[in-house]
Amino acid sequence: MTNIISGKELAATMRQEIKEETARLYEKTGKQPGLAVIQVGENPASSVYVNNKKKACSEAGIKSFGYHLPDDVTQEELLDLVHTLNADRNVHGILCQLPLPDHLNEFEILRAVSPQKDVDGFHPYNVGLLSVGKKTLVSCTPAGILEMLVRSGIEISGKECVIVGRSNIVGKPVAQLMLSKNATVTVTHSRTKDLPAVCSRADILIVAIGRPRFVTADFVKPGAVVIDVGINRDDVGKLVGDVDFEPVSEKAGWITPVPGGVGPMTITMLLANTLEAFRDINAVS
What is the distance of C-alpha 179 from the center of its chain? Answer: 17
Task: Tell me if residue 53 is catalytic.
Answer: yes
Please give the Cα distance from 232 to 229 (Å, whole number): 10
Identified catalytic residue from 97, 117, 118, 251: 97
- Please count the helices (runs of H) and the strands (runs of E) in the chain: 10, 11
Residue 65 half-sphere exposure toward CB, CA atoms < 13 A: 19
Task: Tell me if residue 120 is catalytic.
Answer: yes
Q: Which amino acid is at 192?
A: T
CB 82 within 8 A of CB 55: no
Please give the Cα distance from 209 to 95 (Å, whole number): 23
Please give the Cα distance from 236 to 147 (Å, whole number): 32
Identified catalytic residue from 39, 117, 120, 172: 120
List Cα–Cα distances, 102 to 41, 73, 169, 170, in angstroms. Answer: 11, 11, 19, 22
CB 119 within 8 A of CB 277: yes
Please give the Cα distance from 243 to 240 (Å, whole number): 8
- Residues serving a catalytic function are 53, 97, 120
